[in-house]
Amino acid sequence: MIAPVCKVIGIWRGNDGNLAEVGYGRTDEASANRWDAVDALKEPRVKLRTVIELEDGSRVILPTNEIAYILPDKTGVLVLFDDDKLVQEGCISFSAPGNAAIFNSDGSLRFGLKNPEGKDAHFRAVVSLTLSDGSGGIGVRACPKFYPACEYVYMVDGSTDDLSKELPHWVRD
């Protein structure tokens, strides 16, 4: 059995070839200091890959350089892809309307998410949610591609690619 995901890390390279790491999300590092190593790299800097660290200490390189968000059950991560970004060699990407995907903790693709808002929509942001029972969760904001405000958040639990089965939560930007 693959160990649960415990941390997401970005690997960056400076113009001189030096590398630096930064932890995303909840980390033990002080928020103000965790970017110091990346900031110290010679410009221009480029983000090479996203790595997930498992509870057994092993690391898995994801086939993307986008930020990943740990699923509530820690069996994988949610990745939101930026449509306006050039895809680096060796990285994969998903375009709108399905510009989000779930990866397993071994780095394999579980599935791409289907956008319930239709073909002219995109996923814009990942949000942390607190459910009525007090447990935590994550969701994605889905909105029309050319409308700046997203009014619906769909829960993502990693068990299905079809978010239309989820009850959307209405929010206002």
Domain containing residue 145: 5-170
pTM value surpassing 0.85:
yes
Q: Are 140 and 113 contacting, i.e. CB atoms less than 8 angstroms apart? A: yes
Residue length of the chain: 173
- 3-state SS assignment for residue 89: coil
Q: Rounded mean pLDDT of 146-168?
A: 78
Q: Rounded mean pLDDT of 16-30?
A: 79
- 3-state SS assignment for residue 57: coil
Give the helix ranges, DSSP H, for the chain: 36-39
Q: Which of 95, 141, 84 is nearest to 119 (CA)?
A: 95
What are the two backbone dihedrals, phi and then psi, of residue 44, each rounded to the nearest 5 degrees? -80, 150
Give tens-digit pLDDT for 114-128. Answer: 998 888 888 988 988
Identify the pLDDT of residue 148.
Answer: 64
| CA–CA distance, 42 with 63 (Å, rounded to integer) | 25
Instruction: Provide the number of structural domains found in the chain.
Output: 1
| CA–CA distance, 138 with 161 (Å, rounded to integer) | 14
pLDDT above 60 (res 96):
yes
| CA–CA distance, 45 with 143 (Å, rounded to integer) | 31
Q: Are 99 and 117 contacting, i.e. CB atoms less than 8 angstroms apart? A: no
Cis amide prior to 72 (ω within 30 degrees): no
Identify the pLDDT of residue 104.
Answer: 97
What b-and-e string marks burial along 123-159, b requiring 16 or more CB atoms within 10 Å of the CB? bbebbeeeeeeeeeebbbbbbebeeeebbbbbbbebe
DSSP 43: S
**Residue whose structure tokens are 């929010």:** 171
Identify the pLDDT of residue 31.
Answer: 61
